[in-house]
Amino acid sequence: MAIAEKPPAKKTLTKKQRALEIFDRLTGLYPDALCSLDYETVVQLLVATILSAQCTDERVNKVTPALFARFPDAKALAEADRDELESLVRSTGFYRNKAKNIQGACQMIMEKFDGEVPRTMEELLLLPGVARKTANVVLANGFGTNMGVTVDTHVKRLTYRFGLTNHTDPVRVERDLMKLLPQPEWENWSIRTIYHGRNICDARKPLCGECTLVDLCDRRDVDKPKGKSKRKSTTGKTQSKSTAKSRKSPRTAPVTSTAKKNTAKSTKKSAITKSTSSKSSKKSPKKSPVKQ
């Protein structure tokens, strides 16, 4: 299917108007979109979100049933055997660090917050393994509070590709989105954008021909030119690197018999010098390797 051309009307829209139109269309595409992590309590949501770092939600949802059956709440996770905890979350990747953060967060919840997951951004950020993305997910889906926009890899990529931000740093992307979108829809934007990133707007091969947002999208990093690098020669003409390297070097003058004899003598002298230097180098003490 051919890619739809951007209509002239797009140029008349402000960035905020375009963001709202994109959100309306995403809502039409994914009207029932919800957080795709499986959980029953807020602490389970917190743990699942920590596990989702650099891991798919699908994989996390395969791990958490056994994990929560064995350790269902913050108290159980705080007192869990670390080796057993690591074994249960191993397939999510970075399992040692994740197990450490999950246990540390649950221990802090028990000791500092009376066994309850904190309800503010400031307090959530005190927990090990919790940054703004995890805190936003917990606040929005666990407590119904939108304190920020959840920016994962899909949200970051699509927001930049749409042309709604000039940044790739998640914190800066979040600030830009908070200015463009109404606060009650901050988490809805994230969830629907994630769905669209999975289904249509792939990182490497976006299906622009099937996308209903193409007339509102800047399509950044999609139309990058591909091909062999070229360089200009001294005559001003372009030539490929392979062509330049393949040029033959000029022929040298034939070597005379006298020159050959002189070359042989110098070779013998250099060989003697090398053998002498190698013997002296063996006597010198060895140096210890440099630590890096």
> What CATH number is given to the structural domain containing 21?
1.10.1670.10
What Rg value do the Cα atoms of the chain yield, rounded? Answer: 31
Q: Which amino acid is at 177?
A: L
| pLDDT value of residue 193 | 98
Q: Using 50, 70 and 90 to split pLDDT, how confident is the model at 12?
A: confident
Asked if 129 and 194 sit in the same domain, the reply is no
Quick check: is 282 in a domain? Answer: no
- Report the domain count for the chain: 2
Q: Is the pLDDT of residue 1 over 80?
A: no
Tell the burial category of 286 from Cβ atoms under 10 Å away from its Cβ (0-12, 13-18, 19+): exposed
Q: Structural domain of residue 46, as residue ranges? A: 42-143
Query: In this structure, what token pair is assigned to residue 159?
Result: 């927001």
State pTM to two decimals.
0.74
Question: Which one of the listed residues 133, 156, 215, 237 is annotated catalytic?
Answer: 133
Q: Is 133 a catalytic residue?
A: yes
Tell the burial category of 34 from Cβ atoms under 10 Å away from its Cβ (0-12, 13-18, 19+): exposed
Quote the mean pLDDT of the chain. Answer: 84
Question: Which one of the listed residues 57, 98, 152, 156 is annotated catalytic?
Answer: 152
| pLDDT value of residue 261 | 53
Q: Is 241 a catalytic residue?
A: no
Q: Using 50, 70 and 90 to split pLDDT, how confident is the model at 171?
A: very high
Residues 6+ apart with CB under 8 A from 77: 43, 47, 71, 85, 102, 103, 106
What phi and psi values does residue 246 have, to the nearest 5 degrees?
A: -80, -5
Query: Which of 123, 143, 163 is a domain's end point?
Result: 143
Q: Is the pLDDT of residue 2 over 90?
A: no
Quick check: is 69 in a domain? Answer: yes
Query: Which of 193, 216, 239 is a domain's end point?
Result: 216
